[in-house]
Amino acid sequence: MLKFYQGPVWCARQREMLPLIVRCKSAKALTSMRSGTATLHFSSRAGDALGNPKDLGKAAAKPFRDIPGPKSLPLVGTLYLYLPFIGKYSFGRLHHTGLKKLREFGPIVREELISNVNLLLLFDPRDIETMYATEGRYPMRRSHVALEKYRLDRPEMYNSGGLLPTNGPEWWKLRSPAQKVLSRPQSVLSRLPVVSEVAQDFVDLVAILRDPVTGFIPNFLDLEKRLFLELTMAATLDVRLGCIDKVNPHNISEEAMSLIKASDDSNSTIFSTDNGLHLWKVFNTPTYKKLTNGQDTIYRIAYKYVDAKDNELKSRPEDNPTTVLEYFLLRSGLDKKDIISVFCDTLLAGIDTGSVTLSFALYNLATNPEKQELLAQEARDLLSQSDGKVTKVVLAQARYLKAVVKESSRLYPISIGVGRIAAEETVIRGYNIPKGTVIVTQNQVSCRLPEYFENPNEFLPERWFTKDAINPFLVLPFGHGPRACIGRRMAEQNVYAALIMIAANYKIGWKGGKLDCYSTHTNEPDSPLDFTFTPRD
């Protein structure tokens, strides 16, 4: 893995202190600086004033075109810089690409990816905070645009493009009732017993599939996808698909296999259809056809289970919901088309993000055995008090577990950052940012910089227990604000349950080399997951 930059970035104390003193609102803010020193942040160019001069106002701000960035050519923009062999950037290694741009241009970068389509890259958490502060009532983003076309072309199936691509009041019309269910602690916790059951079944399946001598399990990422499909279906659609079947451990149902493939196919097309020349808008390209086939499968299966539950509820005398799906059907106020849309998005996201998050957490534990032992001790202590089940009390007390997941997400986040469309004209770092500018935060790069974290490349869950302030806009695996991930509670519960069960039952080993990320729509492990699992006594 590329070693992230830790070169000399310090200058005289006077230059360090000046921008911070200007920004401090009280003596309390001044005294929060550790050991009397301040943190130096990159400036956009040599000689620029440090800090974030957003108080300059729009009149004094420099024009957008003056923001430094890679050279754009007519028609092709900067795409030539991403060509294999001759280009210096890579779409497959966005974190490495982002670091190169930070080194070359500073903490704010303008890139004309294709002609007349500008991206603004932000690295400084204070600038990221500014982006969120100006995102407005209906935060906008440009993502899943081909998925939006697919759904809008099928009004008999969908009322809108869904939560992922839709913007404005139409997005809020769907988001508001949906988040009242998915963000409601009681509805999420109501599924914890079955989530715990699935996690226990997975631990038992590992015992069957591991090599009795080496402890190795081949194709472990595929096994994780089976786990998170089972968790997602059980937690949202009230269905056990049998992906974690101890009687028939090597096989899963055709329906489960088709769902995993459909999710993989759909997610693999998002990045390429969001970017580039958008030929899929005119022609039924192979990539767009791959997306439509995957979405057809996801819709068919989601419809099947939503419709079955709807018919079941109509035959029940009481209307007291006890599960997430029942809350949607009985309390959300959404019609069936919109409910199916929400669950299609849940399936699309749940399998991929859950398996990736668990993969990197296990890797960090396997390569840091002393941290693994601390988690194992906590896990065994807590589970011994709950008859081996993951309960509300267990998760509430699992302090080290949560620190492990957060630290792993700092080092290996789900994605490079967050995308937004500027809702209004604003000023960031002394530059005028026009309304409608596409902004992409570079949190993954920033989380490896010594300006923000001591020993930034080390896996140190304990850093989250200290009183040293960490800027809250650095580690944002689920985003922030009104458009943060709607399924965060469910996703975290699934990962916590799986990880605490594994840590309590197995010593996790690693026989591979250094693991890095490969960028698709999300970050994925760039090599096979060579874990070993040794039962604990």
Positions at the binding site for heme? 485
Quote the CA–CA distance of 128 and 122 in Å, as a whole number: 6
H/E stretch holding 419:
strand 419-421
Residue 445's Cβ-side half-sphere holds a number of Cα atoms within 13 Å equal to: 25
Strands 431-433 and 531-535: unpaired
Kindly give the residue spans of alpha helices, DSSP state H, lying in 52-167: 94-105, 125-133, 145-152
Kindly give the residue spans of alpha helices, DSSP state H, lying in 141-238: 145-152, 168-182, 185-189, 192-209, 220-236
Q: Annotated binding site: which residue ranges? A: 485
Contact between 262 and 298 (Cβ < 8 Å): yes
Quote the CA–CA distance of 457 and 477 in Å, as a whole number: 17
Q: How far apart are the first and last CA of the chain?
A: 34
Quote the CA–CA distance of 13 and 40 in Å, as a whole number: 9
Residue 63: CB atoms within 10 Å: 9
- Helix (H, G, I), strand (E, B), or coil: what is residue 432? strand
Residue 27: CB atoms within 10 Å: 8
In this structure, what are the phi and psi dihedrals at residue 274, rounded to the nearest 5 degrees? -70, -30
Q: How many residues does the chain have?
A: 537
